[in-house]
A = this chain, B = another copy of it.
């Protein structure tokens, strides 16, 4: 699906800024911080403002077009949501490459927690390490 279609499907206006943001994220093989994204968007569309980046990141995440990944060192990471439905991410600490994981630990845990009286509503499972290329 093209970027334009993607946006229209979510009833979002197709602006040059949005297209730039999605183009960068779509081309990127790694997860990007808002700052990194900003830098790259600037090359594609000079003059774009940082607040536009942030507003769009929030908007696109709320529409399910992007994923947000936490980072230990503060500042979140973003990527195109390439996989439908619930999933987690594996991220290379060296090159930033990421891939989606099918496995979700909550499946086997939910029942157990319920039994203990705890009702889970959200969880986070993120894996960091080194991909094949980067592990030397």
Q: Which chain A residues have a beta carbon within 8 Å of chain B's beta carbons? A: 70, 72, 90, 92-93, 103, 105-106, 109, 112-113, 117-132, 135
Contact between B109 and A120, CB atoms less than 8 A apart: no
A106 to B106 alpha-carbon distance, docked (Å): 12
Copies of this protein in the assembly total: 2
Residues of B within 8 A of A122 (CB): 72, 93, 127-129
A25 to B103 alpha-carbon distance, docked (Å): 35
A6 to B72 alpha-carbon distance, docked (Å): 26
Contact between B90 and A113, CB atoms less than 8 A apart: yes
Contact between A120 and B129, CB atoms less than 8 A apart: yes
Contact between A120 and B72, CB atoms less than 8 A apart: no
